[in-house]
Amino acid sequence: MLESKRHNRPMPKPPSVPAASKALSAPQKVLRKMGLDRDIDLALHLPLRYEDETRIVKLRDAREGDTVQIEGTVTACEVSFKPRRQLLVTLDDGSDTCVMRFFSFYPSHQKSMAVGNRIRARGEVRGGFMGMTMMHPSFKTTGGALPEALTPVYPTVAGLPQTYLRRAVLTGLAHADVTETLPAGVHSPDPRGLWDLRASLQFLHHPTPEVSMAELEDRTHPAWIRLKCEELLAQQLSQLTAKRERDRLRAPRLSVHPAGLSERLLAALPFALTGAQQRVTAEIAQDLARAVPMHRLLQGDVGAGKTVVAALAAMVAIDAGWQCALMAPTEILASQHFGKLVGWLEPLGIQVAWLTGSQKKKERQAMLQAVSSGEAALVVGTHALIQEQVQFKQLGLAVIDEQHRFGVAQRLALRGKMQEEGMEPHMLMMTATPIPRTLAMSYYADLDVSVLDELPPGRTPVVTKVVSDSRRDEVVERISAQLAQGRQVYWVCPLIEESEALDLTNATQTHADLSDALPGVMVGLLHSRMPVAEKKAVMDLFNSGVMGVLVSTTVIEVGVDVPNASLMVIEHAERFGLSQLHQLRGRVGRGAAASACVLLYGTPDGGRLSETARERLRAMVDTNDGFEIARRDLEIRGPGEFLGARQSGAPLLRFADLSTDGHLLEWARALAPEMLDRHALLARRHIARWLGGKSEYLKA
């Protein structure tokens, strides 16, 4: 963000929202790029901070470090070349003098600050052996009356000077339609009452000097509360609208068959469902039985047992004569699902097909044929599932695993595999990254959410230790001990973003070191650049227990399931995100054996870890609870990154902060359905005001 200093070069005229066909000036183009097209967008572009230009401070009263506005007469104006070229202007305000320094300046500067001129300048006072100085203060020549309100400083970018933006916002604010959209008599979430939108905007752009700066800065002022309420309401309204539109579409009614495939699968499983799995399975069955497309997000920590829940949903669809698709983000994960589902379903006489990008042409043709003829009732695969050639006979249910790893377009494409007009398949989206409640209520308000909040029995919690890289030898001893007990071990190497090659060297080196240190043990290597067949061969060896140690880059992040693995070492753990560490750790502790996770950290210069890095690793030691980890991760990274693909292109909350504004979110959630039911016109105006054309993304 840049802020332009005010000086006296002529500025282009402020915009009056030009028609698209007219040529745009450079700053107008920047405005458009920033999404500040409409008057209302400008009016909603709120200041970052304020400058107090309502007062003039005498130099005698100014202290070093203060940012003040002064006014006086220029007594000297000269260009000096020592130590480098600069303009030095001395200002005398009658109480003292101050030297203003400009390292970049135009001839116009010298002209407007000629000796004898009166100048009003604003900047930070510094001491020095020449007396008081100001570096690059902003200044004006004419005195004029002092403003009555604080001066707003707006977020801007290069090419959009602050003065220009200020005038544009002022124009926008004057022209924007800010008439009330809240129904009369609406309950206020704030005991101080709900401010009017117009008054709130007017105030936030031009607050009076006596306002509490703290209330403005921490956004607790009633004017801020009103804006946050508006924003949250727009979000809830648009998602609820999307949900209601979807509810008007049709989907096949899929009812559970008594003594059907679900019953048979349950009887054949080597375990009984947990209470949470039973509850969630019933929630899904209820959705499937309706003639309205399901849109459900299944959240469950790593290892909670989402796959069997998905399989049971598939049984319902297949029993009713429809096909089911299961899409996973990586080939490894898809092949794991495929293996598991074939094992469960083929004994029940169900044909499972398999589609990935790396498939041989002949095999692929056969699979495509089985899918289009309907012979294959279940199709498992990667993104290959949504390619054009893939035609289902009749797709009734689409399951997306690790849904956050897919983009909006991909989810829409899978939905589009339903052949009939006006019909949609039921959708079940699954994620192992639990979404904290407020975030789910806010960004996923259009989805129904099921939570698997119980792990299958017999798992011992993973014990996590943070260990310095200098103690690697001890870690290797620990590995030997596990291997001696017939257990298996994962060793994960970090992703070095700048260089995949470096990444690889690191993993290869570790692989070689461990092979040397553990004679007689099969140590495997797995990384993302390996051909798929080779990856599969390595995974097969590890799955079957022949391979004792698997060194890998983060390709194992999702879905790998080897219950005999009881130790995971994560190298340079400080480089991983919290959720990622948690997912990785979820690969161990899947069997009954006590399991451990060692977080190795390295510090390049032997120094100490940064405070945030330590905090993150500490969080991993403190808790195994995915929701708690997600909450801390959200705190550290903020919702933008946390939400990932779902939000690509969709507006994130600008004003409300879900960690402090939960009560405002509740307010908006309660009001949204009532508004859609009873004040549809107001609701539509509200959405248009806040989201313009940006609400489409929320439909995926």
Among the listed residues 69, 236, 262, 307, the single contact to ligand ADP using CB under 6 A = 307
Q: Residue 27 or residue 559: which is nearer to Mg ion going by CB?
A: 559
Select the binding partner of residue 456 from ligand ADP, Mg ion, none (C-beta < 5 to 8 A, by kind).
ligand ADP
Number of residues that bind Mg ion (CB under 5 A): 1
Select the binding partner of residue 274 from ligand ADP, Mg ion, none (C-beta < 5 to 8 A, by kind).
ligand ADP
- The Cα-based distances of 254 to 292, 323, 421, 627 in angstroms read 10, 11, 18, 32
Site string for Mg ion, 531-570 (x = CB under 5 A): ----------------------------x-----------
Dump strand ranges (E) for 446-548: 448-452, 463-468, 488-492, 523-526
Q: Residue 383 or residue 590: which is nearer to ligand ADP going by CB?
A: 590
- For residue 306, state whether it binds ligand ADP (rule: CB under 6 A): yes
Number of residues that bind ligand ADP (CB under 6 A): 16
Q: Residue 308 or residue 504: which is nearer to ligand ADP going by CB?
A: 308
Among the listed residues 14, 161, 303, 329, the single contact to ligand ADP using CB under 6 A = 303
Select the binding partner of residue 666 from ligand ADP, Mg ion, none (C-beta < 5 to 8 A, by kind).
none
Select the binding partner of residue 14 from Mg ion, ligand ADP, none (C-beta < 5 to 8 A, by kind).
none
- For residue 100, state whether it binds ligand ADP (rule: CB under 6 A): no
- For residue 308, state whether it binds ligand ADP (rule: CB under 6 A): yes
Q: Residue 434 or residue 559: which is nearer to Mg ion going by CB?
A: 559
- For residue 123, state whether it binds ligand ADP (rule: CB under 6 A): no
Structure tokens at 93: 């305000």
Select the binding partner of residue 123 from ligand ADP, Mg ion, none (C-beta < 5 to 8 A, by kind).
none
- The Cα–Cα gap between 310 and 398 comes to 10
DSSP 421: T
User: Residues near 395 by Cβ (< 8 Å), separated by ≥ 6?
Assistant: 322, 323, 324, 325, 417, 418, 419, 425
Structure tokens at 483: 């291997």
User: Measuring CA to CA, which residue among 648, 650, 624, 619 is closest to residue 635?
Assistant: 619
User: Residues near 272 by Cβ (< 8 Å), separated by ≥ 6?
Assistant: none
Among the listed residues 122, 426, 511, 590, the single contact to ligand ADP using CB under 6 A = 590
- For residue 300, state whether it binds ligand ADP (rule: CB under 6 A): yes
3-state SS of 59-80 is HHHCCCCCEEEEEEEEEEEEEE
Beta carbons of 315 and 448 less than 8 angstroms apart:
no
- For residue 561, state whether it binds ligand ADP (rule: CB under 6 A): yes
Select the binding partner of residue 277 from Mg ion, ligand ADP, none (C-beta < 5 to 8 A, by kind).
ligand ADP
Minimum distance, C-beta of residue 569 to ligand ADP, in the bound complex (Å) = 21
Structure tokens at 665: 């979110």
Minimum distance, C-beta of residue 577 to ligand ADP, in the bound complex (Å) = 18
Residue whose token pair is 């004006």: 140
Site string for Mg ion, 103-122 (x = CB under 5 A): --------------------
Position closest to ligand ADP via CB:
305
Beta carbons of 698 and 446 less than 8 angstroms apart:
yes
| 282, HSE (Cβ side, Cα atoms, 13 Å) | 6
User: Length of the chain, please?
Assistant: 700
Dump strand ranges (E) for 563-637: 565-570, 596-601
H or E element: which one contains 213? helix 213-217
Among the listed residues 15, 305, 434, 548, the single contact to ligand ADP using CB under 6 A = 305
- For residue 271, state whether it binds ligand ADP (rule: CB under 6 A): yes
User: Measuring CA to CA, which residue among 580, 544, 569 is closest to residue 482?
Assistant: 569
- Burial degree of 351 (CB within 10 A; 0-12, 13-18, 19+): middle
- For residue 456, state whether it binds ligand ADP (rule: CB under 6 A): yes
- The Cα-based distances of 478 to 147, 490, 524 in angstroms read 71, 12, 18
Select the binding partner of residue 518 from Mg ion, ligand ADP, none (C-beta < 5 to 8 A, by kind).
none
| 413, HSE (Cβ side, Cα atoms, 13 Å) | 16
- For residue 304, state whether it binds ligand ADP (rule: CB under 6 A): yes
Among the listed residues 273, 285, 289, 518, the single contact to ligand ADP using CB under 6 A = 273
Beta carbons of 332 and 555 less than 8 angstroms apart:
yes
Among the listed residues 432, 462, 475, 665, the single contact to ligand ADP using CB under 6 A = 432
Among the listed residues 284, 302, 492, 617, the single contact to ligand ADP using CB under 6 A = 302
Minimum distance, C-beta of residue 428 to ligand ADP, in the bound complex (Å) = 13
Helical spans, DSSP H, in 16-89: 26-33, 39-43
Q: Residue 307 or residue 624: which is nearer to ligand ADP going by CB?
A: 307
Which spans of this chain sit near ligand ADP (rule: CB under 6 A)? 271, 273-274, 277, 300, 302-308, 432, 456, 561, 590
